[in-house]
């Protein structure tokens, strides 16, 4: 699960507790990345802090706030078999596909390695406004080559050439990220090296998008499953947000 489990609606507590229950039940099969909304500042603005305190009290929110800092910033998924067709694929040193799964995206500078990411001290820390942790949770792909300013005011936008260089340098077959609505639930970008997947259908009851998830088989082949929104009880999205804020910022 690739971040932003909370703040996406008015049942964030139920969503995150269900995910944690699966993590407890299947600790070696369930993995939950941190998103830019698993942070104190965003929870205060978009509603999770208010929801957690309303439903279960302040101490429960404090426990969640610490839990979010323990979540991984990214996950590396490695195929167990060589690909059927590797003619155009970037492969790991073992000759297999592997995918870098992260909520936001890549970096404001070249040369960042997987080891650099592993060494980030995350526990008990917030991402701030700059640096590797911030960029992992906040950046977005752009169509133009190179790097550009972020439409969000935090992080940067990175082009297809940036993605290719980073994947080649790290032996990564593709980046799988979330963080942005896609009308079909997913979009394959940057010449196939960057895939955005967004699993909240009809985001905040307004966007009209489908949701999707990705399945990766043993050879590293990706398939996509789309789904539509279902009716829910009459509670508006982000009902616990400060000032009643309901933004499409993801």
Q: Spell out the domain ranges in the chain.
A: 1-72, 73-233
Residues with Cβ within 8 Å of residue 115, at least 6 apart in sequence: none
pLDDT score at 17: 97
pLDDT value at 248 more than 70: no
* Top-level class of domain 73-233: alpha beta
Residues 218-236 have a mean pLDDT of 94
Segment 10-33, tens digit of pLDDT: 999 999 999 999 999 999 999 999
Segment 151-163, tens digit of pLDDT: 999 999 999 999 9
pLDDT score at 249: 42
Q: What is the pLDDT confidence band of residue 243, given thresholds at 50, 70 and 90?
A: low
The three-point CA angle 75-79-81 to 5° equals: 165
Residues with Cβ within 8 Å of residue 8, at least 6 apart in sequence: 15, 37, 200, 203, 204, 237
Q: How far apart are CA 185 and CA 38, in angstroms?
A: 21
State percent of the chain over pLDDT 70. 97
Residue 37 annotated as catalytic = yes
pLDDT score at 245: 47
Q: Which long-range CB contacts under 8 A does 179-183 form with residues at least 24 apart?
A: 179/3, 179/4, 179/35, 179/36, 179/103, 179/104, 179/105, 179/137, 179/138, 179/140, 179/250, 180/140, 180/250, 181/207, 181/209, 181/248, 181/250, 182/209, 182/212, 183/207, 183/208, 183/209, 183/210
Segment 63-72, tens digit of pLDDT: 999 999 999 9
Catalytic residue among 37, 103, 179, 190: 37
When computed from its CA atoms, the radius of gyration of the chain, rounded to whole angstroms, is 18
Average pLDDT over all residues of the chain = 94
pLDDT value at 124 more than 60: yes
> What is the token pair recorded at 119?
């060494």
pLDDT score at 208: 94
Segment 187-213, tens digit of pLDDT: 999 999 999 999 999 998 999 999 999
pLDDT score at 238: 82
Q: How far apart are CA 158 and CA 145, in angstroms?
A: 7
pLDDT score at 247: 40
Residue with tokens 């090296």: 193
Question: DSSP secondary structure string, the chain?
Answer: -BS--SSSSS-HHHHHHHHHHHHHHSTTT---B--TTSSHHHHHHHSHHHHHHHHH-HHHHHHHHHHHHHS-SEEEEE-SS--S--SS----TTSS-EEEEESS---SSS---HHHHHT---TT----SSSHHHHHHH-EE-SSSSEEE-TTSSSEEE-HHHHHHHHHHHT-SEEEE-SS--TTSEEEEGGGTEEEE---TTGGGTS-PPEEEEEE-TT--EEEEEE------S--TTTTSGGG------
211-216 and 194-197 beta bridge pairing: unpaired
pLDDT value at 233 more than 50: yes
């Amino acid at each position: 699960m690739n971040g932003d489990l909370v703040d996406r609606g008015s049942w964030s507590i139920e969503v995150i507790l269900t995910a944690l229950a699966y993590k407890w039940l299947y600790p070696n099969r369930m993995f939950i990345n941190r998103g830019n909304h698993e942070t104190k500042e965003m929870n205060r603005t978009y509603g999770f802090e208010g929801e957690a305190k309303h439903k279960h009290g302040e101490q429960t929110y404090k426990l969640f706030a610490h839990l979010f800092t323990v979540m991984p910033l990214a996950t590396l998924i490695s195929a167990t078999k060589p690909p059927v067709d590797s003619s155009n694929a970037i492969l790991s040193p073992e000759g297999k596909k592997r995918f870098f799964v992260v909520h936001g995206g890549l970096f404001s500078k070249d040369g960042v390695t997987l080891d650099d990411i592993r060494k980030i001290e995350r526990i008990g820390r917030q991402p701030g406004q700059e640096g590797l942790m911030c960029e992992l949770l906040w950046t977005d792909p752009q169509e133009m080559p190179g790097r550009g300013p972020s439409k969000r005011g935090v992080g940067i936008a990175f082009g297809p050439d940036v993605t290719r260089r980073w994947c080649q340098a790290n032996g990564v077959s593709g980046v799988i990220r979330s963080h942005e609505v896609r009308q079909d639930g997913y979009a394959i970008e940057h010449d196939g090296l960057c895939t955005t997947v967004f699993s909240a259908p009809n985001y905040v009851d307004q966007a009209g998008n489908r949701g999707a998830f990705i399945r990766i088989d043993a050879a590293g082949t990706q398939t996509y499953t789309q789904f539509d929104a279902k009716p829910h009880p009459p509670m508006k999205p982000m009902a616990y947000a400060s000032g009643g804020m309901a933004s499409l910022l993801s």
